[in-house]
Structure 1
Amino acid sequence: MDAVISAAVVLALILIYLGLGIWVFAGLFLVSITGLAFLLDMNLARIGTIAASISYRYASTWELAAIPMFIWMGEIIFRTDISNRLFRGLTPFVDKIPGRLLHTNVLGCTLFAAVSGSSAATAATIGKITTTELAKRGYDRDLSLGSLAGAGSLGLLIPPSIVMIVYGILAEVSVSRLFAAGVLPGLLIAGLYSGWIMVRALLNPEVAPKGSETYSWGDRLRGLGNIFPIIVLMGIVLGSIYSGISTPSEAAAVGVAAALVLALVMGQLTFKLFVETLMGTLRTSCMVCIILISAAFLSTAMGYLHVPANVAKAIAAMDLSPIGLLIVLSLFYILLGLFLDGISIVVMSLPITMPLATQAGFDPVWFGIYLVIMTEMGQITPPVGFNLFVLQGLTGDPIGRVAWASLPFFFLMLLGVAIIAIFPDIALWLPHLLYD
């Protein structure tokens, strides 16, 4: 069958299955099976062999061991007082900045992202504290929701990052280099978020009403003490990676051990909490891994149908400049982000976009950062925006309101992409400094 028709059928199947509300992993499996069975007339035994081979390959990939470890570390922080301490510690430092406590969303997510590789975990952990506190103090609801949704996505960009690990494995790029490359772009986008909050507060001071509290330097010193557990975890995890002491997978295990020790020292480590963190980790890890396997299966099916090769050929035939290619790819990723999660986007699209990017002269490490930012956008775009669902569950606000509040932060991410496209050394300087 003609490759263009095959591509259209696969896309239509994805939209139909996901539109029916089927679980993402089941929808991807069904698309793959349907495509191979009806478009290539492949028998079910052969399809089963392909699926089993892919499952075994991913189950035996050592680098993926970092995923449940980072999720477990996030669960420990989420269920202990460490996250509450983070909010209390940041509060005295933002009181004099236009926007005041709204910045705790951005700063809290930025710090938490440095010890958690998950966007949803970052938004949920910070959101369970800040949404209630900001509402009680009369802060603008939309700006509170939007800044939290946008900043929560930094869990994908600021290392350690589960999506970066997946990209590094599939693209055969050093995960340590990717982690280093994500630091400055992550801080850049966090700065854009805070800058927008300040602009909104200066234009309309009512979005961030002045509270009755005043903070001394003693309060700020005590605030540093509250932030200290997160700083320790950041130092242990990132320091062990960049010093060469451990690989990202090993650093994740070290981070879990450090989080457990901190919880023990703080007197919060109980057997019940230990079991709850394990169960939470099991649920989230299974979800991530099954999506990864199903998306890899779909990627393989698309390869059998020659979809990636033909899409790449069609785009190459446009004879686009590197900037033109980047614009086309950005539109492509924005479309994917409407329907798929970050890991699925990376696994599904990489066979198509990676050859195009390398042929156009883009550095694979830089392209990885670009791709992570594009997947971040998908976290705050309906109908399948994970961060939107998290905030809806936390606050009870309609999904439409959360999505509308997140829209300015979507455009700020686009601005961040434009900046690192014009100045690629923002992403590449630190990896070159540390590893060249």
Structure 2
Amino acid sequence: MGSIVIAIPEGEGSVSVPPIKEKKNKFVDSLVHVISFLGENKNRNDVRKIIHSIKVGIALVLVSLLYLLDPVYTQVGENAMWAIMTVVVLFEFFAGATLSKGLNRGIGTILGGGLGCLAAALAQEIGGVGNAIVIGTCVFIFGAAATYCRLVPSIKKGYDYGAMIFILTFNLVVVSGLRAEKIVQLARERLCTIVMGFVVCIFTSLLVFPIWASDDLHDSVTSKFEDLARSIETCLEEYFSIGSEKENRPKFSFNSCKSVLYSKAKDESLANFARWEPWHGKFGFSYPWEKYLQIGEVLRDVAATTLSFKGCLRSPRQSSDTLRASIKEPCEVVGSSLAWTLRELGESIMKMRRCQTVALIMPKLKSMRQELSVVVLASPSTIGGQVQNSDGLEIASFVFTLMEIIDKVEELTKQVEELGELASFLANK
């Protein structure tokens, strides 16, 4: 019996199957698009928030197994709730913050529970009316002392949470009214479940896509150098623009300087968390985070000085274009040199390499100061002679501000050099 071949013509009834290679290319393009989206700086913070949320969910699932698994539940019982509470309270965005709160909570719980057991045992030995007197006295003394310690700046900065947990634990144990042996048993069981929750938090925070406060502090400080360099350049461009250039140019907003100026609280918080973080990546033990705060202080001084340019740029008493043109060239040279110096210092910290401070930057700063001094002294009739007419006041203020920035950048250069020595930066080749 012969075979019959039926030809199906291409038309409306035909089914076109897309090539497999085309589907693969579309998938690769989509994957590349997603990766590029996640890699952009503006989306980096959103991605980290998602990662943190997923990590908290994982930690809650792990610690909930104390309730869900019967063999484990028979060992810990209702105290498993303390482990869940520990995860909810301890888990922070940064790994250092989680470790800091966990250790503070552990130390506060142990000290508060131990002293509370001793006080409760002493009250039981005395008995009668003396029981209430001893408990009230202990609660007053330890509660007042711990509260006073929380007000000390050095303790409040790193151990405020531990002091609060100490007060809470001590009062719960002392005022519980149970017998001393039951108090010890209850404290031991709850401490074990708290340790379980703490271990889950640390395991998830440090081992599952950790978010380091030290990296944020390092990036935050280095980015300030670029922001200030760009601000100085933009101020000079706007100041010396004339005619139609000034009308068409958008006014400088000084937002970068303001963000640097208001960054103290954030930097101190990140530095506090970074001190608790273990060795990781390029940051070893006892890394000089305090020096980052000192550099941040000088950067804020530079930002505040740069903000004083606003008076020259926005003043209704503007000097003439001719007067500005007389100092344009030396001031622009100084401004570009300052921007270059700030970028060099920022790159030195970012790449963790020693900057050629003595050999290159410091002599350059001294020569900039000399150039501005020559500008003022060489043309007293141009600048000083116009002071009586208020035309030279604004020019003199502008030059003085530039000289102030040079002094601040010189101090900043010394701070960066000291950081390189303390952090053992590699020599710049």
Same fold (TM over 0.5): no
TM-score for the superposition, normalised by structure 2? 0.24
Larger Rg belongs to = 2
TM-score for the superposition, normalised by structure 1? 0.24
Greater relative CO, 1 or 2 (CA 8 Å, sep 6+) = 1
